[in-house]
Amino acid sequence: MTFGGFRFTVVIYAAVQSVAAPFLTKLADSHARVLLGGMGLVSTFVALLATSLLGSSLKVAGGVRTWVLATLIVWLVTAIATLLLPVALVKAGVRSARERRSST
């Protein structure tokens, strides 16, 4: 995979995910509230599928098991990053503010 292909894949995935997640959540909320908890997984699968179809850099070869595992892995990494990234950014901001305050 080239860097340009990777960048294109990430942009396509992020765009589809940012549209699919709210749409599917709203759809589940109005028609099937029971499915609301799984919408993150469903939107991740939809984004992976769209990225695989639209771009040439991401191909998920294999059967249903491979697609399920790919969806779970991408969803899990995204969930962990969503939890840890704000903490890391806040810590970096606090450290920077303390350094600025101590240098004045």
What is the per-residue pLDDT across 71-90, written as a single tens digit (0 to 9) for each? 999 989 988 988 898 899 99
SS3 content of the chain, % helix, strand, coil (to 5): 90, 0, 10
Give the pair of three-digit tokens for residue 3.
């860097």
Q: Per the structure block, which two tokens stand in for 32?
A: 């099937």
CA distance 43 to 11: 15
- In angstroms, how far is CA 23 from the centroid of its own chain? 15
Whether the CB-CB separation of 96 and 89 falls below 8 Å is answered with no
pLDDT in tens, 29-54: 777 777 767 888 888 899 889 888 88
- Integer Cα distance of 27 and 43 in angstroms: 12
Q: How far apart are CA 22 and CA 46, in angstroms?
A: 12
pLDDT band per the 50, 70, 90 thresholds, residue 66: very high
Is the pTM higher than 0.85? The answer reads no
Judged by DSSP in three states, 2 sits in coil
Question: Both tokens of residue 37?
Answer: 């908890």
